[in-house]
Structure 1
Amino acid sequence: MTLTRNGLGAGVLIVTGLVLGAGVYLAGAEMEMASPYIPEDKVMMMKKMMMMMKPDTLEASVERGKKLFNDTSLGMNKSGQSCASCHSEGGTVGGASEMEWKGMKMKVAIPTLKGAAPHFPKPMGPMKAVVTLGGMNNMCVMTFLKGMPLDLNSQAATDLTAYITTFSEGRRLEPGAMKIVPLPVPGAM
């Protein structure tokens, strides 16, 4: 398999020759792969925007995140609850919450957020997809609050992550560690 630039710019690659599982090779197959990088014109716009931004502080971000954490309309959610409904002061109300995945209902233990931030990124869920703390926040917003996910590049997502990270102050980084459930719930993941 060879990767070559096709002259289209923006890092578009053409794959010539494709391996199809168990060593099967399909010669001459072409598949375009989009670049994971932001195009140069957008980078320049971002640089200009950053130069004009007013200074911000971590304390201000954490304070905005705390408001979002307690906001019952976060992500335009339909549950009428907030993150604090399950994680009062970053802890846990205990028990489990029901969720649905591919038509199957399952119980998920409600973990504490105290000490959780240093465990990210880590593999999560039945598919074992690697998830960041911001991605985990979005999973909770969508699954348990029945809301819309936050744009992970937005100020709101950054602020919520900053606030949740404060529950782990002084903790050692341990990416991939298990969630912390003080009192395990029988039958819950």
Structure 2
Amino acid sequence: MKELGMFWWAFAVRGGGAILFAGFLLYSGSFFGTIFFDPIMFVVLALVLGFYILSNGILLGVASGYAAEHQVDIWQFLLAECIFDTALGTYVGLTLLLSSESLAWLAGLHALGTGCFLAALAWKLRANKAYSGLLGVAGFIAFCAGLAFVLYRQAATRTATHWLGGFELFYGVVVFVFAEGLHRHHVPLLRGESAEFR
């Protein structure tokens, strides 16, 4: 937690971004089901989904470089998630045209990847039982959500969009709570360092 404390901002931005994205999904999902809006909404959703995942990848890349510079051994973990998110976000952004099945499939891949990385982070933080438990449970839920998206690709687009919005809202809140915990661990360290300089 002390090493990760310097990256609290990265997790806070991710959590805030996920909550904003969830709001967009929950609102835009209501437009599906009308003949006129469906083709337009699929393109808009592809652009926003691709941008959201790609921006996560870029943010993780910055955090990974920062971690490597400060010799924090978690930089490989952040880099692996950066590569996964960047590749998936680029693919979604380049294809542009989504369908109800491809939306569920990509949402499933995104949730499965998120679940795996949350579980890996929980394992790295196993000494801190509270946050390790939080991330472990969140990772398990994300993995189950990913499996549900992949196995039930025939679900209606409105339903899939709302379920993805609910998942992103859950993920955003969990990551935001984690970022707040990292910040609380980091502030005393900064105060201690400033006291030493005095």
**Higher CA-based Rg:** 1
The TM tier, using the shorter chain, reads under 0.3
Q: Would you tell me which structure has more helix in proportion to its own residues? A: 2
**TM-score of the pair, normalised by structure 2:** 0.24
Q: Give the structure, 1 or 2, with the largest relative contact order (CA under 8 Å, sep 6 or more).
A: 2
